[in-house]
Amino acid sequence: MSAEKTDKTEFERSPSHFGDRITADGSGGWPVEPGRYRLVVSRACPWANRSMIARRLLGLESALSLAVADPIQDERSWRFTLDPDGRDPVLGIRYLAEAYAAREPGYTGGVSVPAVVDVPSGKLVTNDYLRLPAELATEWAGLHREGAPDLYPAPLRAEIEEVSDAVFRDVNNGVYMCGFARRQATYDRAFTALFDRLDALSERLATRRYLVGDSVTVADIALFVTLVRFDAVYHGHFKCNRSKLTEMPVLWAYARDLFQTPGFGDTVDFDHVKRHYYVVHAEVNPSGIVPAGPDLSGWTAPHGREALGGSPFGDGTPPGPPPQDERVPPLG
């Protein structure tokens, strides 16, 4: 999750401070190498979830290892208390902040996920949450599994970027604008933009299975990570309550379609999601009470979206099951 800050009236998402690129040719000093880097995530975080989905769909599990932080942060932010002795077993650190400090001594800014860390040096390479999925799809192509989908096809990139920009501004970021608003007018603007955009996306997806083209792209990944958290968190916690996802028929079917696609739902841990938002955001939920709902059983219900045509993996194939140590609990 990117560093966030609020003042008395507006929510502002801080840009990624470390934007280095890991490239196939190593031109920026960070070459793609299997096993060299570690992707640090929180299963609670929608921005990290994007990279987790892309990594799964592309079959990069053995090339880019995964570290999962505790969904509950403390004053030093993301921590590895889920691991034995409270240390990441590969990086040997207790806090992601240690990799930030190794990269920039004295760094005092936000500590965010996803973060890619260089294992040999222990230094953070990048926390560019917006660009990382597309770069996994392009720069890491030499390490993709056989049958991996093309998540960022060259002929569709302009349209993908146009759709993704709107999704980011009004939906991904829009729910935070609602949740952290400190003035009614600020909230009202964000609320209106959010649901206007969701209505437009519903109209777009009423006649097509995916946002751009006939298969899954990074644009679908971007929208999914907010939709999958919508009823569990954003509808109540962030006051995005005109409609639940389950009350928006097209988007609800679309989200179920993606959730049931290998690589999507098998990255989602609703327990981590709810505990993070309701416990960490004390200014929004001072009691720290984590709600028992919603009912999650609907996520596995038939969606009927196959009738619209298209195929999630294009000419490719689905990924295999997640590694044993990366599996999330079944829906309960």
**pLDDT above 80: residue 13:** no
- Check residue 16 and give its pLDDT: 63
Q: How confident is the model at residue 2 (pLDDT cuts 50, 70, 90)?
A: very low
Element (H, E) at 198: helix 184-205
**pLDDT above 50: residue 7:** no
**Per mean pLDDT, which range of 5-14, 46-55, 65-74 is the poorest?**
5-14
CA dihedral 8, 14, 17, 18 (to 10 degrees): 150
Q: Is residue 78 marked as binding?
A: yes
- Check residue 193 and give its pLDDT: 98
Given 37, 45, 129, 254, the catalytic residue: 45
Q: How confident is the model at residue 3 (pLDDT cuts 50, 70, 90)?
A: very low
Element (H, E) at 179: helix 174-179
- Check residue 275 and give its pLDDT: 98
- Check residue 74 and give its pLDDT: 94
Q: How confident is the model at residue 250 (pLDDT cuts 50, 70, 90)?
A: very high
Average pLDDT, the chain: 95
Query: Which residue from 134, 136, 168 is spatially nearest to 154, judged by alpha carbons?
Result: 134
Active site residue 176: yes
**pLDDT above 70: residue 12:** no
Per DSSP, 77 falls in state B
Token pair for 131: 């660009």
**pLDDT above 70: residue 15:** no
**pLDDT above 80: residue 6:** no
pLDDT digits (tens, 9 = 90+) for 131-188: 999 999 999 999 999 999 999 999 999 999 999 999 999 999 999 999 999 999 999 9
Phi-psi region of 121 (alpha: psi -120 to 50; beta: other; left: phi over 0): alpha
**pLDDT above 60: residue 5:** no
pLDDT digits (tens, 9 = 90+) for 45-66: 999 999 999 999 999 999 999 9
* Predicted TM-score (pTM) above 0.75: yes
Q: For the chain, list the domains and their CATH numbers.
A: 4-143 (3.40.30.10), 154-314 (1.20.1050.10)
**Sign (positive/negative) of CA torsion 129, 332, 215, 35?**
positive
- Check residue 17 and give its pLDDT: 80
pLDDT digits (tens, 9 = 90+) for 77-118: 999 999 999 999 999 999 999 999 999 999 999 999 999 999
Given 37, 100, 152, 176, the catalytic residue: 176
- Check residue 246 and give its pLDDT: 98
pLDDT digits (tens, 9 = 90+) for 252-281: 999 999 999 999 999 999 999 999 999 999
Query: Which residue from 216, 209, 212 is spatially nearest to 150, judged by alpha carbons?
Result: 216
Average pLDDT over residues 37-41: 98
**pLDDT above 90: residue 290:** yes
Cis peptide before 286 (omega within 30 of 0): no
Active site residue 45: yes
Terminal CA-CA length for the chain: 26
Contact 235, 278 (CB under 8 A): no
